[in-house]
Each structure stands twice: as structure tokens, then as C-alpha cells.
Structure 1
Amino acid sequence: MRRSSSSAMRPVASPVLSWCRAARGSSCAASNSLVRGLRAIQRGEFMRYRRGKWHWLVAIWLAGTATAAGQSEAVRLAQAWRHIAAFVRQQMTDSRTPGLALAITNREGLLHLATFGHADPAARRPVTPETLFQIGSISKSFTAVALLQLHEEGKLKLDEPLVRYWPWFSISSAHPPFTVHHLLTHTAGLPRDRDDIPSSWFTVWALRERVTGAAPDAHWAYSNVGYQVLGYLLETLDGADYATILRRRIFQPLGMHRSEPTITFAARTRMAVGHQTAYDDRPAHRSHPLVPAPWFEYGAGDGSIAATPAELAAYLRMLLNRGAVPGGRILSEESFALLTQRAARARGERWYGYGLEVWEKDGHTWFGHGGAMVGYRAMLLGNLHEGLGVVVMTNGPGAPDRIAEFALECVRAALQSRPLPELPERVPPARVENAADYAGTFTAPDGRQLRLVASGDRLYLLHGGQRIRLERRGRDRFYAHHPDFALFPIVFTRAPAENGSGPVTEVHHGAAWFFNERYTGPRTFAVPAEWNAYEGHYRTANPWLSNFRVLTRKGKLWLVFPSGEEEELVPLAPGLFRVGSEEHSAERLQLDAVVEGRALRANFSGVDFYRTFTP
């Protein structure tokens, strides 16, 4: 006769009994007594067993309660892992991310590790827990941690200028000298990059050719150059090379044995292959194929680490423990406070400490930092109050910050027995809920027209007998998938209003500018004759920023980056411009070598770019 599957027909498999059976083979001497007690209860022999053994029954009940709670938490976490995986796959599809690794940790240990996609799609090599990813600027906090260790050892004073350690150091400045603290907090007034110099001490020497943009501590301006300088200062003070210093001071104590402190050819085959879009001179679009990104060695203090997900999570775990590790400390409490101080307001409500952003959310202190290398993106995020953190690494386009935030919210919800957050709605790029704001006819000073029409939540550009559907790229920014509009975004301007949502009055695309009937400003503009020589497309052999364009619009000269972001060029001297309208900007553009009415060279903060043949 077939047995019924009803639980009433068989003994209930107690989780406590299972626990006791597991414990019986251990050193727990009480486990056999626990098993006998539980069996007595199951046989209905409680009265016989209880004399002298009631305390064991209490222990059994408590163990059962704890086990049930543990199983319930495990179930909730398993649901969270599945939910996170669904979100990751959604984001990878939307961003066309080739491969991704994710690790979640608390203060005690690794909670979850997951890998997705391919480290090398061409070879069908999957991402594994051992795959190395370049983590970019997350490396900055490693540099800061090592310097703080030297500070603890009395070898470094944070409030001293660099000439204390390098008497030969020089930079052009009208302000007091900046200190190590200012470099660590991006408040030294330095330019952002010097990517034509390949991980070389010459970066420090070459600062004598640059100028500071503001007094120390006056403004926050992100500077990779500053952390490159700090990496070389670390070598001076420690006496070893940067890679050796990080291995000895941070990697070895944390068990980061597979990760690499510098990016070298020796480790290349263990790394995921970075990817970028095929076009480097225009805003990216889904129609652009992905190609392997340029690969190069890197060993400077602003972003040279390649890590596995679990080992980067071990570093994050040290931060969640405020510098403590099993058996000792990487940083003292005082140094950790310096690392996570609110030294300078970075963006919005976020502050910058030493290599980390710090902010408050829901009454908790959060910290983190993003990272980007050519073909890679990464994010490190931690909740200091709850002791939870996540790292996300990709080898191509993607949104690791968005994934990290969602993953951590899922874990918090699971541990607090709250419902998991819903998967965010996937908003089509072509959805423009306020499409009517932009509809109308816009006219250029020379009479050319740009016509836009709204149809529900879609916005169309009428051009050459076609209706080109626009895709949103920001609040008032759009992309038109058409060859005539491929090089620049379409950007609208609104009339001033207290709430920032005045009516749309202007639109521009590159140098082309149009206005509608609501525009009341000037319609013609005079520009210096010599500016005509500066307009054009400039290139260099730099994998980070390979090209940009210079153009005039509405009487101003503009520097336009491939992404479509742009900065005003403010004249300082003939051929010399400050990059950006802010007076504290340290970036400069020098245009020279004018031949037959065209500038042939543009020096951007020390990096030479040359006029090229493409528009």
C-alpha cells in the first residue's frame, strides 16, 4: 500500500534533533543528553524524563527557537540573493555589461559572492571568484591607509607641505603651499589629470609646469594627480616601491593573496578583459558595438589595484570594523577617524575624507567610493552603523553604484525581516513624460529651423522627412540616433524660474543654436576673430581622453568632451583659456601653432592634443 505523504503519518523531522545529531560528533558532551531528551518528548515520556533534566528541556527549546530563527533568516537571505541576481541581470542587459562580480560582507565575514557573465566574451571565459577586476579609484583609500600608518609611526606629518619631504618640489601658485592633508582631501587646487605620463615620478616634477586654481582648502576639486603624488610620497617615506608597500602593509594582513597592487603584464591573463564602445568621439549608444578596451600597465597611487571580489570584500570588512582585523589592527581608531572625516563637501550631502566619501542616510553613517579604469567600473559601499557592505566590479559599461545600493538595501531588508524592495521599473530611454515641454519650432540666427513634436510620452525630431525618436540622457538632454546628430547631444535650456522649471526657450546641438518665440535675449553675438582658428577636433594618444572638440556658440568658446559634456573656455591671455566658468578651476587650455588660420596644437593642462582630420 502506498504510504500517505501526510506529516501526521510520520514523526516530524525536528530541526533541533538534526542539530543535536550534528553536534553529537563534536566535542559537545551534552549533545547525547539533548538527543535522549528530545526522543523522550517525541515518545510521550516527558514526565519520566523531566525529573532532574528540566534544564536540558529549556536548552532544547532555546536551541530550537534559535535554529528556527536561523533557518528563517537563511531563507530570507536566500530570497535576497535571488532578488539581487534578478536586478543584476536586468542592469547588465540594459547596460550591455559583459561580466560582473559582487560580494557582500558584514563585520564577521563574507555573506555572499556571485559572478555573472564573461570575463572574456570572445573566448567564452566566464567570470569566476578568482577573476581579477581593475578597481580604479577605490585604490585611493589604500594609498590613504598606508600613509596613515606612516603617520602613526611618526614618519609623516599631515599638515606639512611637500617641500618638507621633497625640497625640489615646485608648483606655480599665488596661494600658500598645500599640505598632505589637502592632497588627501582633493582641496589642494590641482588639475584633475595628467594621463600622458605613464605611472612615473615625472608626474611630481611636471607639476612645476602647472598652476593651482585656488587657495588650499577653499574648494573641493577631484584630482587624480594629487593621489599619484601621494603614491610617490609613500615610496619616499617607506623606502620601498608602491606595490611592495601595499602588499606588506595591507594585502598580506588581510589575506589578499590573489589580488594585485599594480596592473602589470604578469597578471593580465588573470584579469577580466575590459570593454568600451567602438566610438571614442561621441556619446555612447546601444547601437554601438562593444570592443576590448585599450590595455596598459599602471602603478600609480590613484588607481592601480586589481582585485578579486572576495578579497576586496575583506578590505571592506576591515573598514566596517573601523580598522580592526583578527589579531590586531590595520589602522588605529584615531587614524580611522581621519580616514572617514568630513573634511570637504564633495557633492550634494556627501563629504570627502581620505580616499573615501562619507555621508548620512536614515540616521546611519555610510561610506564608499567608485572606481573606473579604461574598460572597467567598480563600487565599494558600506554602512558603518549596521556593519554591512558590498563591492561590485564590471568589465565594461554598467552601473555598479546602482547595483551596490540595491544589493545592500535587499540585505538590510532581509536581516530586519522587512519586505524586499521591488525591482525598479525599467524606464525605456525613449520615454519622455514631459515631452510637450520641448515641442515646437526653434530657429537659428541664420534662419535654419529645428522642429520637435510630442506624441504622448515620446518626443520626435523632424529632420529630412524623418521622425527621429529622441532618447533622454538627463533632465533636458537627449540623444538622436541619426548620423547627422551623432557627435553631440541635443540640449535644451529653460527660462529662469525659482523652481528651475521655467519654459524651454533654447536648444543647441554642438555649435548650432536655436531659440523659440519665448526667448527674449540677444540673437547675435560677436566673437574675437582669432577664435576662428581654434575651432576644430583635437586628438592625442591617451586612452583616458583621446579627443575633444573646440567650438563657438552664443559668443563663447567651448571645450566639448566625447560624452557631450562641455566646459566654457574663459580667456586669460592670447591663446590661453581657463577651462570652466568657476574661477577656482586649475584646468588650462593653450592653443597655439597657428598655421594658415588654424591652430594645430591644444595643450590641455599639460597634455598635448593635435588638430585631426575628422570633424
Structure 2
Amino acid sequence: MVRRLNRFVSSAMRASNIPGLSLALTDRDSLRGVATRGFADLARRKRVRPETLFEIGSISKSFTSIALLQQWEAGRLDLHAPVTRYLPWFAVRSKYEPITVHHLMTHTAGIIMGTDFSTEARYETWALRDTETGFPPGSRFHYSNVGYKVLGLVLESLTGEPASETVRTRILEPLGMDSTLPAITHEARSRLAVGYSEVYDDRPSHPSHALVPATWLETDTADGNIASPAPDMATFLRMLLNRGRGPQGRILSEEGFSLLTQRAVRPDDAAHGEFYGYALNVKERGGHTTIGHSGSMVGYAATILADLDAGLGVVVLANAMQETGEIADAAMQLLRAASEGRRLPSLPRPKDPRYVRKPSDYTGAYRDGLEEITIEADRGRLVLRRGADRALLEARETDAFFVDHPELVRFLLRFRREGDRVVEALHGSHRYAREGATIPAAPTTPPEWEAYAGHYRSHNPWLTNFRVVMRRGALLLIRPGGEEDPLAPVSDGVFRVGATEHSPERIRFDTILDGKAIRANLSGCDYYRTFAP
């Protein structure tokens, strides 16, 4: 089992450009093992060790939820009371019923995700009064980091102390998680693995991109404030596997644990499970109930996964903001098979992104006005030709490809289908019609929209930049990773971000100079037009 898992982890780390990783396996009673790979500090060639700390990001939200449930058990918190009972100054523009603590804990409040434009929780919470809810609270799921910042302030209002201190005394110390930090500070920096990001922050990632130390920041906000080593996180999982019981007694009552792991809402995205409770994803896998969560910080990623029926848990911590869920899934498959005495399953090899199952789906000539590209098949691979240039395509998502060419790397090349047939290729501002396909003419758009297209930057380390493009009569916001969101007009210079009408996210363009918007405010964070294309 160990050899098979090590091979998979090593391959996944290479494919995702992860410099260092720590993985822990546990059952209900004890730690099964810890495996470490790679480097905690590339410059010093310092390897990851079991005691190396990693930032766990949004997994911190489950600690916040547990601390709030402890207040509920003590009779000091009504989960279904308006947030204003505990934070009278909390305000969001809304035509719906008041937002409750439960709504925030389940990401059903209808508020924005949050941009971390502030270095602390209070002002970002205060600034919610300048935003508007996108749907009736409780009716839908829209993940919100700022919602958990608010919850940290609710917890502080109940205890009279920082939320991080409550987590320390009420969760970490009773569980014996002595190496875990409830706040990320300069004093602890030497104990953490160095977080890494790719040298290019404005385009989809690629294993060939050099790694550089990511921006370091202190934080104690309750949406992502914990740093921990893998063995300590396995201790946390054992408490979950024992339904709230720790080695010195209960952290949560049985009723509290049931609330923590309730199937409160069905998320409308694949990242957050079949159901979501209080900061835990809930899924059914092979007749077993699993709970877990992922977390990302600037330069870090993490996943926890617990099989409640088998009594098994997996922790994966990495010092790059890359996908760790597949590693956790693979480790759980092997751990469960070994525990049940079954033959170990074969783990999938990381797919070579250069090879495509049906290249013929995409081959042919595509044209956007006078510009033409051709997609050719080459021994199972796809090659883009543009004039004399030739670039290999690498699959990323369904019908989306990284273009290995210096002039084309800033956007993914996406293909749109009608039925089963690919009819056009989309890249940045270009919309290339496939030869033989009929594409409707672009709609007429207000001339002032031309001012909004461009590349915008901020000093925010979470989302440093994005591009806005005009593509055949539509404005789109394109993030560095290649994710695209259509922009729908709301009022002059203001657009809804996202394809769904209930999205609360907004972007506002202003300060028009020489026909170009100089500033774009994305859900509360200011970005400014930059010189780079």
C-alpha cells in the first residue's frame, strides 16, 4: 500500500508543481502513519518533516463552526437568530428576511464571497452594507469567506476574547493539538513550510513555470487562520470520526455533531460535495458517509477526508495552491481496502494532458474575421497552427486547453459545442467559428462597454489581477487560472459577475480617461488598469 501511494503522490506532485507535501492516515483510535515528500524550503533544500506546519485555509471554518456550536450547547447562541442580535452594526442591502447565523454557517446567506481586500475582519464585515444579497437567505448556496469572518466576530461577541483564543482553549488544547497555531503570525513563520506560487500570476499554471515564495501574510480571521502539522490534523479527524469525542471528553455533544454534519444544503458546484453542513462537505461513497473540506491559502493547499462508517481519515497538506483532493481520495481508497483486507485498487496514473481521447472532435479550421487558426491531430495530440506558428495543446478541463505558445498562454483555449459537435473556439477576446458552422452575428452593445476591456491589478495577494474582454458583443471577466464569468449589466458601469441571475458578485468600472476605465471594483476590492496586456 505504501509503495503504491508513494508512487501516486510523487506523480501528482510533479504534475501539479507541488514542492512539498505531508500526508497523514488515521483510524478512530490512533495515527496509522505520516508520509512526507519534497521540500518545505526549496532555497535551503529543507525537506518536509512530520512536524512541519502548513496553513490549512478554509478547513479552519470547521473549527469556527465547532466553537459556535459549543456556544449553542451552552445556551448562549441561537443558530437561527438574526446576526444583528450579536453584531448590531452588521448590515447588508437586502429585500429579503434577515440573515441568520445558520445562513452564514451554511453559505446560504446570499452574500458575496469576499475578496480579502482588508487585512482584518471588521472592516470587510462593515463594508457588506455596500453590497446586496443575491437571493433569499436559505434558498441557495453561494460560498462566502467573508461570511465566516462575520461568524468569527459573532463568536468574539459571545466570549469576549479573540476567536483564535477560543479555538485554542476550547478545541486545540483539549484535543492535544499542541503544535497547531490558531493564528498565523510572524513569530511562527520559521515553523511553517514556505508557501510557493508560480512566477507568472496572470495566466493558467503549468509545471514548467518556476516556483517563487508566495506572498507572506499574517491573519487571524475565522475563515482561514490555522497552521497545523499533518499529525495534529489527524487528531482533529479522530475527534470527527468519534462523533465529537476527544481523548479527554467531548468537544461536541452528539446533537452538536449531528448539526455540524447535517445535510443542510445542496451546493451548486462540484467543489463542495453533494451536501454541505456547517463547514463540512457531506458525500455518500460506496454506501459510506464521508465528510471533509479543502482549504487554500496564498501558497498553500489542504484537504481533510473522513469516512464515518469505516472510521478512517486522511490529511493532505501542501505548500502550493494546487489541487490536493485527488491525493486524499486515492489515499482513502487504499486505506479502506487495506483495512478491510481487500485487494488494493489500481490508482489511475496522472493523465498526460497532451493526449486527447477524440482529437477529431476539434480538428479543422476556425476563423474570427481575418484571423484564422487550424487545429490538427498529431499522434493523439492536438496542435494549433496560426500562420507559421505551431503550439501544442494540453487538456485542462472539458473542452478547454492550455496553449503552449508565448503569445497565447494568457488564456485557455475553449471549445463550444452544439449537441456533440464543436462549433467554435474561444480564446481571450476571440471567437473563432469552425469551418462549416453557422454562428449567430454578435449583438450590438453600448459603445461605452469598449472602455471596460483591459487588464486590472491590485496588491491583493489572493486575486492579484484579472482581465476583462469583449467577445462578440459580450463582456467577460477572465481570472488568471482561466475561469470565465460573463458580465451582465445592472446599471451604468455596474455588472453582475456570473452566469446565474442570483449571483451577488458585482464589478463596477469608473474613472474613464482617454476612453478607458482606470479602476474596476470587484465585490469591494479596487483594481487598476495595468500596462501589461
CA distance in structure 1 between the aligned counterparts of 2:468 and 2:14, rounded to whole angstroms = 35
CA distance in structure 1 between the aligned counterparts of 2:349 and 2:464, rounded to whole angstroms = 35
CA distance in structure 1 between the aligned counterparts of 2:164 and 2:136, rounded to whole angstroms = 33
**Structure 1, 343-352 or 290-299: larger mean CA deviation:** 343-352
Alignment of 1:321-332 (within 5 A): 321-332=242-253
Contact 2:175/2:247, CA 8 A, preserved across alignment: no
CA distance in structure 2 between the aligned counterparts of 1:427 and 1:529, rounded to whole angstroms = 45
Offset at 1:554?
2.0
Alignment of 1:150-299 (within 5 A): 150-299=71-220
**1:436 alignment partner in structure 2:** 360
Query: What do the CA deviations read for 1:448-476 (whole angstroms, capped 9, x no partner)?
Result: 21111113311111123233211111110
**2:463 alignment partner in structure 1:** 545
**Would the alpha carbon gap of residues 397 and 137 (structure 1) be closer, same or farther in structure 2, given more than 3 Å must change?**
closer
Offset at 1:398?
4.1
Contact 1:91/1:398, CA 8 A, preserved across alignment: no
**Structure 1, 456-465 or 600-609: larger mean CA deviation:** 456-465
**2:277 alignment partner in structure 1:** 353
Match 2:40 to one of 119, 133, 138: 119
Percent identity between the two aligned chains: 48
RMSD: 1.2
Q: Does 1:555 align with 2:479?
A: no
Query: What do the CA deviations read for 1:43-64 (whole angstroms, capped 9, x no partner)?
Result: xxxxxxxxxxxxxxxxxxxxxx
TM-score (norm: length of structure 1) = 0.85
Contact 1:99/1:127, CA 8 A, preserved across alignment: yes
**1:49 alignment partner in structure 2:** none
Offset at 1:404?
0.9
CA distance in structure 1 between the aligned counterparts of 2:221 and 2:504, rounded to whole angstroms = 21
Offset at 1:167?
2.0
Q: Does 1:318 align with 2:236?
A: no
Match 2:256 to one of 316, 335, 345: 335
- Structure 2 counterpart of 1:239, which letter? G
**1:576 alignment partner in structure 2:** 494
Q: Does 1:452 align with 2:375?
A: yes
**Would the alpha carbon gap of residues 209 and 267 (structure 1) be closer, same or farther in structure 2, given more than 3 Å must change?**
same
Offset at 1:443?
1.2
CA distance in structure 2 between the aligned counterparts of 1:227 and 1:124, rounded to whole angstroms = 36
Match 2:422 to one of 488, 504, 522: 504
Q: Does 1:516 align with 2:461?
A: no
Contact 1:95/1:397, CA 8 A, preserved across alignment: no
**2:341 alignment partner in structure 1:** 417
Q: Does 1:391 align with 2:309?
A: no
**2:527 alignment partner in structure 1:** 609
**1:592 alignment partner in structure 2:** 510
CA distance in structure 2 between the aligned counterparts of 1:333 and 1:506, rounded to whole angstroms = 54
Contact 1:191/1:586, CA 8 A, preserved across alignment: yes
Query: What do the CA deviations read for 1:236-274 (whole angstroms, capped 9, x no partner)?
Result: 111111221111000000101111001100100000000
Contact 2:19/2:319, CA 8 A, preserved across alignment: yes
SS at match of 1:122: coil
**2:293 alignment partner in structure 1:** 369
Offset at 1:397?
4.9
Q: Which runs of 5+ in 2 are unaligned?
A: none
Offset at 1:325?
1.5
SS at match of 1:613: coil
Query: What do the CA deviations read for 1:514-544 (whole angstroms, capped 9, x no partner)?
Result: 1023422313432110001111111111000
Query: What do the CA deviations read for 1:253-300 (whole angstroms, capped 9, x no partner)?
Result: 010111100110010000000011101111111221111100000110
Report which of the two structures shows the higher radius of gyration computed on alpha carbons. Answer: 1
Q: Which runs of 5+ in 1 are unaligned?
A: 1-79
How many residue pairs get matched?
530
Contact 2:175/2:248, CA 8 A, preserved across alignment: no
CA distance in structure 2 between the aligned counterparts of 1:391 and 1:533, rounded to whole angstroms = 47
CA distance in structure 1 between the aligned counterparts of 2:136 and 2:347, rounded to whole angstroms = 46
CA distance in structure 1 between the aligned counterparts of 2:335 and 2:524, rounded to whole angstroms = 46
CA distance in structure 1 between the aligned counterparts of 2:2 and 2:436, rounded to whole angstroms = 52
CA distance in structure 2 between the aligned counterparts of 1:467 and 1:550, rounded to whole angstroms = 27
TM-score (norm: length of structure 2) = 0.98
Contact 2:164/2:222, CA 8 A, preserved across alignment: no
Alignment of 1:133-148 (within 5 A): 133-148=54-69
Higher normalized contact order (CA 8 Å, seq sep 6+, divided by chain length):
2
CA distance in structure 1 between the aligned counterparts of 2:134 and 2:389, rounded to whole angstroms = 47
**1:69 alignment partner in structure 2:** none
CA distance in structure 2 between the aligned counterparts of 1:170 and 1:423, rounded to whole angstroms = 49
CA distance in structure 1 between the aligned counterparts of 2:474 and 2:444, rounded to whole angstroms = 9
SS at match of 2:173: helix
Query: What do the CA deviations read for 1:407-457 (whole angstroms, capped 9, x no partner)?
Result: 11111111212111223233211001211110001111x222111111331
Bigger proportion of residues as strand: 2
- Structure 1 counterpart of 2:293, which letter? H
**Structure 1, 279-288 or 396-405: larger mean CA deviation:** 396-405
4+ residue segments displaced more than 4 Å: none
**Structure 1, 222-231 or 169-178: larger mean CA deviation:** 169-178
CA distance in structure 1 between the aligned counterparts of 2:327 and 2:349, rounded to whole angstroms = 14
SS at match of 2:397: coil
Query: What do the CA deviations read for 1:65-121 (whole angstroms, capped 9, x no partner)?
Result: xxxxxxxxxxxxxxx222212221121222221111111111111111111111101
Q: Does 1:307 align with 2:228?
A: yes
Contact 2:199/2:211, CA 8 A, preserved across alignment: yes
CA distance in structure 1 between the aligned counterparts of 2:196 and 2:400, rounded to whole angstroms = 25
**Would the alpha carbon gap of residues 85 and 425 (structure 1) be closer, same or farther in structure 2, given more than 3 Å must change?**
closer
- Structure 2 counterpart of 1:600, which letter? I
Q: Does 1:469 align with 2:387?
A: no
Q: Does 1:406 align with 2:357?
A: no
**1:3 alignment partner in structure 2:** none
**1:95 alignment partner in structure 2:** 16
